[in-house]
Amino acid sequence: MVPISYYLILAAVLFSVGVASFLIKRNIITIFMSIELMLNAVNLTFVAFAHMWHQVQGQIFVFFVMVVAAAEAAVGLAIIIAIFRTRQTLNVDQINLMKL
């Protein structure tokens, strides 16, 4: 007998923690992980609504999000490797050549 809104709020909490984590973390990889966390929060929302609407479409959406996340991870981590090669650091605070 859990209200749907509980799930949604849980998702919101996770999403916000993801956002906060993006803001706090200095390591690019961890920042990327925060994005994954946000995506997971969204997934939870999808699943909750799928349950509410008795629609399988929501679950399929989550499935696609996973695929996309995988693809993004591949590309993202490749970019991270590339940047590590040129800058020898993973600290975002030091990746600010371009500003103003």
Element (H, E) at 98: none
Q: Number of residues interacting with other proteins: please give it, by CB under 8 A.
A: 97
Instruction: Name the minimum Å distance from CB 43 to other proteins.
Output: 7
Q: How far apart are CA 12 and CA 78, in angstroms?
A: 30
Q: How far is the CB of 88 from other proteins (least distance, A)?
A: 10
How far is the C-alpha of 80 from the C-alpha of 72, rounded, in Å? 12
Q: Restricting to residues 34-93, which ones interact with other proteins according to CB under 8 A?
A: 34-87, 90-93
Minimum gap (Å) between residue 72 Cβ and other proteins? 6
- Residues 3-22 contacting other proteins, CB under 8 A: 3-10, 12-22
34 CB contacts (<8 Å, ≥6 apart)?
18, 19, 21, 22, 25
